[in-house]
């Protein structure tokens, strides 16, 4: 199928779906993918390299018309949509598509596949976007907001604000939100050790998050054995 197109319309959807199925690893693999991703969407198990290739090809053409079709029939479609949205250079345009995308997400993978080109000239915009998503009532929108913060951990300008945002999740009950928060704390310790230690002495994290964060630190190859032993004291019983 020709993916670099000047125009996309509804008549292309069926052909595109049939094309994707030619790369499917089969029903069993699709069932496995659906369990791992934990989504209500059907899964057809197209490999990541193929999804990446297809995304790049579509982006060479009129990708806006492709996105405007909002093909959301299965998890692979979702992955392609999200990956294309991340490539949009105009921040406001990207945000308008991302808002629609992220509010339809029902699983962790649709958040975690978002890889944004965050640079000095758009950094503040992305940080504000993160804060907007973190306030959402939808758990996977919140998770998406938190994943953006990983790009800010090594910046002294933002690290204290990140700790403040983490503290706002004290009463968080959603597993996938608490888990990404734990990852974020571990990343903070790896890149901002002294400031994170100070944070851990007064943090407002819930029990699940702090204990998972300590476990992730202790599993990390980037943290010394001495620090791994020291961090045990921050576990909550």
Per-residue pLDDT of the chain (237 residues; tens, 9 = 90+): 999 999 999 999 999 999 999 999 999 999 999 999 999 999 999 999 999 999 999 999 999 999 999 999 999 999 999 999 999 999 999 999 999 999 999 999 999 999 999 999 999 999 999 999 999 999 999 999 999 999 999 999 999 999 999 999 999 999 999 999 999 999 999 999 999 999 999 999 999 999 999 999 999 999 999 999 999 999 998
CA-CA distance, 198 to 214, in Å (whole number)?
A: 15
Pick from 136, 152, 148: nearest CA to 111: 148
Is residue 203 helix, strand or coil?
coil
| Other CB atoms within 10 Å distance of the CB of residue 203 | 18
| Domain locations in the chain as residue ranges | 1-115, 120-237
CATH code 1.25.10.90 for 120-237: yes
Residues sharing a CB contact under 8 Å with residue 105, sequence separation 6 or more, in sequence order: 78, 111, 140, 141, 144
Q: Model-level pTM?
A: 0.93
């Amino acid at each position: 199928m020709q993916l670099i197109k000047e125009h996309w319309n509804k008549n292309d959807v069926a052909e595109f779906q049939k094309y994707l199925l030619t790369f499917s690893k089969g029903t069993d693999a699709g069932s496995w993918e659906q369990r791992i991703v934990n989504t209500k969407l059907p899964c057809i198990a197209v490999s990541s390299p193929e999804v990446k290739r297809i995304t790049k090809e579509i982006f060479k053409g009129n990708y806006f018309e492709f996105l405007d079709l909002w093909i959301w029939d299965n998890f692979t479609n979702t992955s392609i949509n999200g990956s294309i949205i991340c490539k949009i250079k105009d921040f406001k345009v990207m945000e308008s598509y991302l808002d629609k995308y992220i509010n339809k997400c029902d699983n962790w993978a649709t958040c975690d596949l978002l890889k944004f080109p965050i640079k000095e000239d758009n950094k503040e915009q992305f940080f504000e976007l993160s804060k907007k998503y973190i306030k959402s009532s939808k758990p996977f929108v919140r998770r998406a907001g938190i994943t953006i913060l990983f790009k800010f951990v090594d910046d002294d300008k933002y690290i204290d604000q990140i700790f403040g945002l983490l503290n706002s999740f004290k009463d968080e009950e959603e597993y996938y939100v608490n888990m990404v928060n734990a990852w974020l704390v571990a990343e903070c310790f790896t890149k901002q050790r002294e400031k994170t230690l100070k944070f851990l002495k007064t943090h407002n994290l819930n029990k699940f998050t702090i204990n998972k964060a300590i476990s992730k630190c202790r599993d990390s190859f980037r943290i010394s054995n001495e620090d791994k032993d020291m961090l045990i004291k921050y576990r909550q019983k």
